[in-house]
Chains A and B, each alone.
Chain A
């Protein structure tokens, strides 16, 4: 029996096919951004952009900055405190809350915004209860708060891992050097967790910059608003691409800052042997306070807004077409999740081979993190119309007909845009899962006579299944929540839950918007529970 030429490392099986998947993932993620950059840099400046540059561009940039700062500040405060409570203390309900606190990720920020504006608008229930004292939640700060309420789990998850992974020795050393417990926290624990917190904050900032529904509803004109107006109002692909490029540059700046933090983190975390810190026992009043601190973000981000929407939905006639829209949402999310999970797993396997191409492909796919949905959509349009223009003359010469329209005819373009934004999100969970299959496990199975097929099904799959499933489910939830790309790329008359909810909310018919708004987090909740429990189990 002859083996393939070259080295037989126990882990580099299937290099060819997985490498292909990695390159495909990279292509899907990177192509739209590159198309955007190409159009933006080569196209002619339209009237809209010229007008914009003279009038609203600074407003867009300033509003984006305010929204991002408030979102990051709020999410950072909530996420870091909760992360510390979960990792370092013990109180009644901690174990369950550990994963429940992740669930607000199932609530789209715009859904929270619909409910909070409805609750707090002039003459609304909150103002009635407080005698007009409760401020109406709107504008930049309102939108920032909404993002903080539903996106804090990104910070929470990473901060919790960082605090849990810290050796007690660093803080103990600070204590022996004369620092009190509080000072030791500020001077050792927090700085050591800073890179993780920064990574979480970068995600929060990105998501708030990518959002359209929330800022549109609360009246905070960020860059994405300008982008969507350029496309759907002025109809200019070049202008939209230029604004997209600005947005991507901001995103790259954000992630660049985060990376700069992380490269220094290696020194910070080189604390030597790991000795887990003893949990601080919170009993009585302090325990109750901790419990309240955990329940508050859940109330603000999930229970109050969803409760309000449920109340509204029960009092309003159900809108038409909800069943079809639900089916569309589920189909799009399901297909994208399946493909993304496959691409993510393929890339993770390709990365194991440690070849330069695989690493490059994973990096390129990672670009997707920096691509807001609207940008991905503009990129896909630019790309597909470019291809169309390229093929059309030849097609006509051969068939005598116009080349079929690739763009709006099918949901394929939409799935493409989703993938370019979310496939990257499926890579790192798969990578983490695959890290459990150590080379020696593979080697052990082989020396015990297991064929490749048996190794895959009896060793690899059981160990990675939960991780790969979570990766897919995470993408599923994200697609379900996605609005701007869907608005731009959906086939004519093809509604999703997010679209219906947005259209009714934009028409100020919140009663009608309530049920579709509610259905998104409700559908997303089950997969989110799976993901949350998986992530929390991983940490232990």
Chain B
């Protein structure tokens, strides 16, 4: 990824609303030209604050934001949002309620042909026939598309999207997500999408950035991040995970399901063994060490809760299965979905 051209670079961003809680506590992030970055984190992790800081709606107390050679924000300067050329899609879309879809899209444009350009932008979003409609006359999905068209119309250097699909129902979400990604790619835009939905983040991103407690804790390609989380926190952000706290010894870490490879850790060092639910392979066996305590169907797969004296865990196994509640099972691990990180 050496040929990536960094467009926007954030270093050591800090911002606190209350004396005892920092919304941003030294966040670092780079956005690359023409690529979509997803910023994933739990609510309250500082994602939206970071987004607003990039837009200029929030001022950093320390750290810097640079766009190319221009400093947008550092210790002694703050470029106001109207001078930054960022496009932003707000969580509530923030469409101007007293303007038509066309007027909304034309708002950020200047020049004699701005109506025509706004209309072209709307037509690209397949909303040309809705140009005269007011926001309240549009469906939720249409409003989101107008908001995106409005943000893209002035051809901004960076487009920021704050939970852009959160207001939509599940079925529409997937469809709109694909459409949004296509639109952003077609415009070759550098984009940052904030979300708290791991599946969504991985589906849209070229680069995934994980955020927790005001810091970026890991960045990388979605697959790579999912397969190799740097910490238990990172693993949890990306989906269900069982965490076994233990100590390394002899290049291995012991678990109730047998030893796993812990090469590179010192003997006696605290480690966390991260196990994705799909790593568990369950076999019905009278002599098994574990008992099924709960069986829940989730369509394509089953969630099986199993327990022994050492604890209880949840496995995700292919459906159908003859295993029933109360059955005894033996458990093995698929090492592909198991990682060991420092504890």
Contact = CB atoms under 8 A, between A and B. Distances in A.
Contacts of B82: 446-451
B97 A443 contact: no
A1 B80 contact: yes
Interface in B78-97: 78-88, 90-92, 94-97
Nearest to A455: B82
Contacts of B85: 449
Given A447-B81, A449-B154, A440 B91 contact: yes
B142 interface: no
B56 interface: yes
A7 B58 contact: yes
B173 interface: no
B42 interface: no
A12 to B, nearest CB: 11
Given A1-B79, A444-B88, A436 B59 contact: no
Nearest to A447: B88
Nearest to A11: B57
B94 A463 contact: no
B12 interface: no
B96 A443 contact: no
Contacts of A9: 57-58
Contacts of A447: 55-57, 81-82, 84, 86-88, 108, 151, 160
Nearest to B88: A447
Nearest to A7: B59
Interface in B144-194: 150-151, 154, 160
Interface of A is mostly: loop
A443 B59 contact: no
A353 to B, nearest CB: 15
B52 interface: yes
B94 A444 contact: yes
B90 A440 contact: yes
Interface string A418-444: 000000000000000000101011011
Contacts of A2: 76-78
B98 interface: yes
A458 B87 CA distance: 19
Contacts of A448: 82, 87, 107-108, 150-151, 154
A443 B81 contact: yes
A3 interface: yes
Interface residues of A, number: 25
Contacts of A459: 96
A436 B136 CA distance: 14
A446 B107 CA distance: 11
Contact of B94 (A8, A441, A451): A441
Interface string A173-188: 0000000000000000
B97 A446 contact: no
Contacts of B57: 8-10, 443, 446-447
A1 to B, nearest CB: 6
A300 interface: no
A436 B107 contact: no
A446 B57 CA distance: 8
A443 B94 contact: yes
A7 B73 CA distance: 13
Interface string A4-31: 0011111000000000000000000000
Interface in A318-340: none
A449 B92 CA distance: 19
A191 interface: no
B20 to A, nearest CB: 17
A421 to B, nearest CB: 33
B90 to A, nearest CB: 4
B81 A446 contact: yes
A352 to B, nearest CB: 15
B78 A443 contact: no
B150 A436 contact: no
A445 interface: yes
A1 B96 contact: no
Contacts of B52: 443
A450 B56 contact: no
Contacts of B108: 447-450
B90 A444 contact: yes
Given A445-B107, A446-B57, A450-B107, A8 B98 contact: no
Contacts of A444: 88, 90, 94-96, 150
Most chain A CB within 10 A, of B55, B59, B81, B94, is at B81
Contacts of B80: 1, 3, 8, 446
A458 B103 CA distance: 11
Given A8-B57, A448-B107, A441 B96 contact: yes
A252 B190 CA distance: 59
A462 B98 contact: yes
B78 A8 contact: yes
Given A449-B108, A450-B82, A463-B98, A443 B55 contact: yes
A2 B86 CA distance: 18
Most chain B CB within 10 A, of A441, A444, A459, is at A444
A520 B39 CA distance: 63
Interface string B126-147: 0000000000000000000000
B54 to A, nearest CB: 10
Contacts of B88: 443-444, 447
A478 to B, nearest CB: 29
B25 to A, nearest CB: 17
B11 to A, nearest CB: 19
Interface in B20-55: 52, 55
B166 to A, nearest CB: 13
Nearest to B83: A1
Shortest 10 CB-CB contacts between residues of A and residues of B: A448-B108, A440-B94, A446-B81, A444-B94, A440-B90, A447-B88, A3-B78, A8-B59, A462-B98, A449-B82
18 contacts: A2-B76, A8-B58, A8-B78, A10-B81, A438-B92, A440-B90, A440-B92, A443-B88, A446-B55, A446-B82, A447-B56, A447-B84, A447-B108, A447-B151, A447-B160, A450-B108, A459-B96, A463-B98
Given A444-B96, A447-B87, 8 more contacts: A1-B83, A3-B59, A6-B59, A446-B80, A447-B84, A450-B107, A458-B107, A463-B97
